A and B are shown apart, each in its own frame.
Chain A
Amino acid sequence: MKAAVLTFPGSNCDEDLLWAVKEIARQEATLVPATTTTLAGYDLVLVPGGFSYGDYLRSGAIAKFAPVMTALKTFAANGGYVLGICNGFQILTEAGLLPGALQWNTSLTFVCEPEPLIVANATTAFSNQYTAGQKLSLPIAHGEGNYYADDETLAAIEANDQVVFRYAANPNGSLNDIAGLTNAAGNVMGMMPHPERAVEALLGSTDGLGVFDSLITATKGAAHVAD
């Protein structure tokens, strides 16, 4: 698998993702700056956490104007796998690659803690190494992770089985306990919890490895996605 890890000014989990994919999952991966205009040749694009452009207006609201986002849309439209984590999830919703939006946690505070999750759908490219109903613990670290979509959109998401992870003890007010979901086509996923922070026993948990292993499985033998 060949992965691109996007990096926007203000991203701060880009190096962590690179480490997880390269050093732990042992896959090819490179950092790709937000000024890049093509993503041809990658199997997977990872949109990392952090505070792109400071997240000053709304999280992800400025990042969507970066040049690489046009390339990302093409990449996704061609069926390439895209995973946005935390700020990456926020960017993908702002860019319209995923439905809904993320607003302030109901506590109005940032929260960093290990979060119990339930695998809602284990048939996606991002979760095929888990089993449905499996309990996981992945770290969260966000202030704006409260998932919102209007009733109609939410119903469509559920009808289409797009929810991949749900919170077991909703920490932020997300509708339907949504912690991670895909687009309708199933090739783009966003999630607030950080799987890349749970890939080494030394750091406390390896529950996040399944996300990367699932993608390796999904892309095995897959031809690189054309631009």
Chain B
Amino acid sequence: MLQTEPTPEQIREHKPYLQLGLTEAEYDLFTARLGRLPNYTEVGLQSGMWSEHCAYKYSKPILKTFWTKNERVLMGPGEGAGVIRIGEGKAVVFKAESHNHPSAVEPYEGAATGIGGIIRDIFSIGAKPVASLDSLAFGNQFTAHNQNLIEQVVAGIGGYGNAIGIPTVGGEIQFDASYQDNPLVNAMCVGVMDEKDIQRGQAAGVGNAIVYVGAKTGRDGINGASFASAQFSKEEDADRSAVQVGDPFMEKLLTDACLQVTHEHQDALVGMQDMGAAGLVSSSAEMASKAGFGMTLDLDLIPQREPGMTPFEIMLSESQERMLLCVRAGYEQEVLDLFAAYDLDAVVCGRVEPGHQYRLLHHGEVVCDIPVSLLTDDVPTYTTVPQQPARLAHPAPDFTPTITDVGATWRALLALPNIASKRHLFQQYDAQVQTNTVIAPGGDAGVIRVRGTHRALAMTADSNGRLLALDPEIGGAITVAEAARNLVATGAEPLGITDCLNYGDPSKPEVYYELQESAKGIVAATKVFNTPVISGNVSLYNETSGVGIHPTPMIGMVGLIEDLEAITTIAFKEAGDQVYLFGKTGDDYNGSSLQYLQTGAYAGRLTGFDLQTEKQTQDTVLAAIRAHLVTAAHDLADGGLAAALVEMGAANRLGIQGTTALTSAQLFAETQGRFIVTVAPAAVAAFEAQVGAAAAHLGVVTTGAITLQLADATIDTTIAELATIQEEALACQLK
């Protein structure tokens, strides 16, 4: 162990830092700033802190372009999670995080620890976690390996979320060839708190205590994959594993205890942060750096799961369920006692120091003594000269579908994995614990009421990699618009977003181009919808054998409902209700599910999207819902009108009888910015007067028959037939 660590000179000579992900230039820069050769521990800390995950080397220039503030934002990006005011003294806290790589390697624990990690981000701000969402993307070949991956990821999310008692109220699951070797597992958590309780991750005030809380530190997840090759050289290490295992029981105790500290010991608490990527070093260094102080930690005091851990291992371990607190001097005991009552390990392991040095002691020796800014601020950022990928310069010609049997096309479309119901997967998540869930998964957005107020929050997680692959800028804007559309359909006003930027290797000019262009689209859309980005996460290098995923920004959006009576669900309520379609339907088939059904691919330019038109439609729909004129609402997304009608009819097995000027093909068009709503007969006059020409009458809800007179065909079927296909297709294909 210790004795096998290279000396500073050996490090300079043999460059072991290359295996830790650092470049020679980065090592040289660090050495120059330090004014001496760093030892092995220090190089280890550098490698953790200068990783993309902690330092955003490639993404910082992009993230700087995001719009992050409006009058409601109480805390933007930079802390564990962002905070937005929702009225009545309350605030909503949310953030999303990716766990793509860990989930690819070990799906159950990778997904589970992804949930655990994002929950800690939320309560580290002082908020009670009230809901989770998950955005998943898998390959579309259902091989045994892929099926196992899907099964285990879903089980892991449920296994953690269900046990800790946070309802999973929404999410998405997509299937596309692009994710066959690089699945995406993005998790989002939402918390609610009193505005006055907002915490920051800061370690201020000379002499104040640094308190370590929670699980013991083990040799898990140390420096990700590099640990395996760099450290497991000896024979007897073959039976070792660096997989991180989640312990939701521990996390439940940790959540409750930390929230109790924030609520009942405000005098004692200076700051709090979770230990995420790069574990103890990133949490402690960031807390010191944000507050502008130095820090000394005594590593012998850190609770350890295994004997003989080196400072490198202790500092870079990514063991789960750990938190770091800064506690005012003199208040240590009351905080330690509180954690003891929960049976949790808690120890004072260091102190805030004057100046800016970051010092670590181990077995009585100083093993690290560097300016803290060297870890947190002096990281170089990189830009790549972007280059438009060839496929974008020469898009395929517009797709023109041919439909001979519209009923058969409809049935086939509903069985596509991306259109089929995901219920048999998401019903493995507890959606109702905490008894606040007004809309569980299956609607356009999850909705939870906020106890102690007359308000509710709507939330959704959306991504559209296949559209971004056709046009990253428009696709990025569409993703934000779709998220807003989902919220509006429930009666919510969009408040803000969190994101996970899932991309390939950013040092490739084409990938960087996708990153930059999609950011443009996202920024433009967030301004139109008044939804600043308050938190997020970046996951780059999603590549296998040099082939990257579709550019896939996941947008998590939260909206506010101020009237519990106006919450609207997608289900048709009663036969006799009138059905209206908002938004113009065009011949927009490029990138559509119909195109995929008929050609096996998505191709062409993106057409038929305009941010301003979309915003107007959303405003009109929201106003109608708020005026209590609407009995059901649903936005049109994948599969267009055809999919939406079935989704609305399914729950109560109600159909539609209608006449429209749309063609058979247009039934499947995926023109953006559209909604279907139903209106009770008594409200028709008021509804039509309020919305005017924005909505077109489509038909009337029936007791189960679906009879549609299209411009070029007639359809006569039942909701029972169509809904059954949509409900059963995926479960069949995943067997």
Asked whether any CB of A lies within 8 Å of a CB of B in the complex, the reply is yes
Chain A to chain B: the 8 pairs with minimum beta-carbon distance, closest first: A12-B165, A54-B249, A51-B163, A16-B435, A141-B430, A110-B428, A112-B430, A197-B432
Within the complex, what minimum Cβ distance (angstroms) separates B247 from chain A? Answer: 7
Q: In the complex the two chains form, what is the Cα distance from A196 to B433 in whole Å?
A: 10
The answer to whether B249 touches A56, judged by C-beta atoms less than 8 angstroms apart, is yes
In the complex, 15 of the A-B residue pairs with CB atoms within 8 angstroms, ordered by the A residue number, are A9-B249, A9-B252, A9-B253, A10-B252, A10-B253, A54-B163, A109-B428, A110-B159, A110-B162, A110-B429, A111-B427, A112-B429, A143-B162, A200-B435, A202-B564
Q: Is the CB–CB distance between A112 and B428 below 8 Å?
A: yes
With beta carbons under 8 angstroms apart, the residue of A10, A54, A203 that contacts B435 is A203
Q: Is the CB of B249 within 8 A of A13?
A: no
Interface size, chain B (Cβ < 8 Å): 29
Complex alpha-carbon distance, A141 and B163, angstroms: 11
Q: Note all chain A residues with C-beta closer than 8 A to B438.
A: 202-204
How close is A194's CB to chain B, nearest CB, in angstroms?
A: 7
DSSP majority for the A interface? Answer: mixed
Asked whether any CB of chain B lies closer than 8 Å to the CB of A53, the reply is: yes
Taking A51-B162, A202-B438, A203-B432 as contacts, is the C-beta distance between A112 and B252 under 8 angstroms? no
A10-B163, A110-B162 known; A203 vs B428 contact (CB < 8 Å): no
Does B650 count as interface, using CB distance less than 8 angstroms? Answer: no
CA distance A49 to B430 in the complex (A): 12
Docked-complex contact A141 and B433, CB < 8 angstroms: yes
Interface readout for A187-226 with B: 1 if CB under 8 Å, 0 if not? Answer: 0000000101100101110000000000000000000000
Q: Does A55 contact B (CB under 8 A)?
A: yes
Q: How many residues of A contact B (CB 8 A)?
A: 30
Residues of B within 8 A of A196 (CB): 435
A10 near B437: Cβ-Cβ < 8 Å: no
User: Whole-angstrom distance from the CB of B449 to the nearest CB of chain A?
Assistant: 7
CB distance from A25 to the nearest CB of B (A): 13
Chain A residues, Cβ within 8 Å of B155: 109-110
Q: How far is the CA of A200 from the CA of B437 in the complex (A)?
A: 11
In the complex, B434 has a CB within 8 A of chain A = yes
Which residue, of B248, B249, B435, has the highest number of chain A Cβ atoms within 10 A? B435
What 1/0 flags go to B261-298 for Cβ under 8 Å of A? Answer: 00000000000000000000000000000000000000
Is residue B382 contacting chain A, with contact meaning CB distance below 8 A? no
Chain B residues engaging chain A, CB cutoff 8 angstroms: 155, 158-159, 162-165, 247-250, 252-253, 342-343, 427-438, 449, 564
Interface string of A1-44 (1 = CB under 8 A from B): 00000000110110110011000000000000000000000000
- Given A9-B252, A54-B247, A204-B438, list of 16 further CB < 8 A pairs? A9-B249, A9-B342, A10-B249, A15-B434, A51-B249, A54-B248, A55-B163, A109-B155, A110-B159, A112-B427, A141-B431, A141-B432, A141-B433, A197-B432, A202-B438, A203-B436
On whether A9 and B165 interact (CB within 8 A), knowing A54-B248, A110-B430, A112-B428, the answer reads: no
Given A12-B252, A51-B249, A53-B249, A194 and B432 contact (CB-CB distance below 8 Å): yes
**B7: min CB distance to chain A, Å:** 44
A10, A49, A53 interface centre (most CB from chain B within 10 Å): A10
Contact status A203-B430, CB under 8 Å: no
Q: Are A139 and B432 in contact (CB under 8 A)?
A: yes
Residues A13 and B433 in contact, CB atoms below 8 Å apart = yes
State A204–B437 Cα separation when bound (angstroms): 9
Q: In the complex, how many angstroms separate the beta carbon of A60 from the nearest chain B beta carbon? A: 14
Contact of B158 among A15, A110, A200 (CB under 8 A): A110
Shortest beta-carbon distance from A36 to chain B in Å: 14
Interface residue? A88 (CB, 8 A): no
Name which residue of chain B comes closest to A49, CB basis.
B433
Q: A12-B165, A54-B163, A113-B427 are in contact. Are A202 and B432 (CB under 8 A)?
A: no
Contact of A112 with B431 in the complex, beta carbons under 8 Å = yes
Q: Report Cα–Cα, A143/B437, bound state, in Å.
A: 20
The digit string for A165-207, where 1 denotes a CB below 8 A from any CB of B, is 0000000000000000000000000000010110010111000
